[in-house]
Amino acid sequence: MSRLQFIGRPWVVFDPKDKRHRQWFADFQRKSTWGHCPVRFVVADDHGDLITMIQRRLIEYYVDREFKIVEAEIKTKRSRQKIKTAV
């Protein structure tokens, strides 16, 4: 095993739920360099490049998050209406 593997930044799978991962990507977007990122992200086999993979995962994360909130609000409103009609 090469000495560089021990010295280099660790490999990590990008997780959009991890706030640090989102922050590191935001820093990359701002600075156009991964130089300050303490890890290296792994590219999945089904993706061609790292940036596209991260963007797609972030889109999926935020869309899911937004519509889960909307669905929860709708369910809350419906349950309130059922309580009002029952009383």
H helices within the chain, ranges in order? 3-7, 19-31, 50-86
Total domain count, the chain: 1
Q: Token pair of 54, please?
A: 């991260």
- Asked whether the predicted pLDDT for residue 5 surpasses 70, the reply is no
Residue 46 pLDDT level (bands cut at 50, 70, 90) = confident
Residue 67 pLDDT level (bands cut at 50, 70, 90) = confident
For residue 16, the model assigns a pLDDT of: 95
Residue 51 pLDDT level (bands cut at 50, 70, 90) = very high
For residue 45, the model assigns a pLDDT of: 78
Q: Token pair of 25, please?
A: 């990507």
For residue 18, the model assigns a pLDDT of: 96
Q: Which domain holds residue 33?
A: 3-86
Across all residues in the chain, what is the average pLDDT? 84
What are the backbone dihedrals phi and psi of residue 9, each rounded to the nearest 5 degrees, phi first?
Answer: -65, 145
- Across 23-49, b (16+ Cβ under 10 Å) vs e yields ebbeebeeeeebeebeeebebeeeeee
